[in-house]
Amino acid sequence: MTHTPKMRSIWYFVGLVLLTMGGLVFLAAVIDYIGGTYGNTVLAETRPGLWWGGIMLIAGVIFFVKNRNSVHD
């Protein structure tokens, strides 16, 4: 009897990557915000790291939760 491994959807792994990268970006932005350090760029006061980190985290959670149980033969 041959056992064939089940394969996960690519969107499951996309969710994991977005969760990981979004968490790192968000965490770095929070540390910069607490420490009061930020670059001398035109839009530094808008804190783009917080925005993009949060967006990536939300997208990662959506992809991960939606596809965590989808297994293909």
Render pLDDT for 13-52 as a digit per residue (tens, 0 to 9).
Answer: 999 999 999 999 999 999 988 987 767 778 878 889 999 9
pTM of the model: 0.80
Among 8-12, 30-34, 53-57, top mean pLDDT goes to 53-57
> What is the pLDDT at residue 73?
56
What is the rounded CA–CA span in Å between residue 50 and residue 8?
A: 30
- Using DSSP, state whether 13 is helix, strand or coil: helix
CA proximity to 32, closest of 48, 56, 21:
48
**Is 68:11 a contact under the CB 8 Å cutoff?**
no
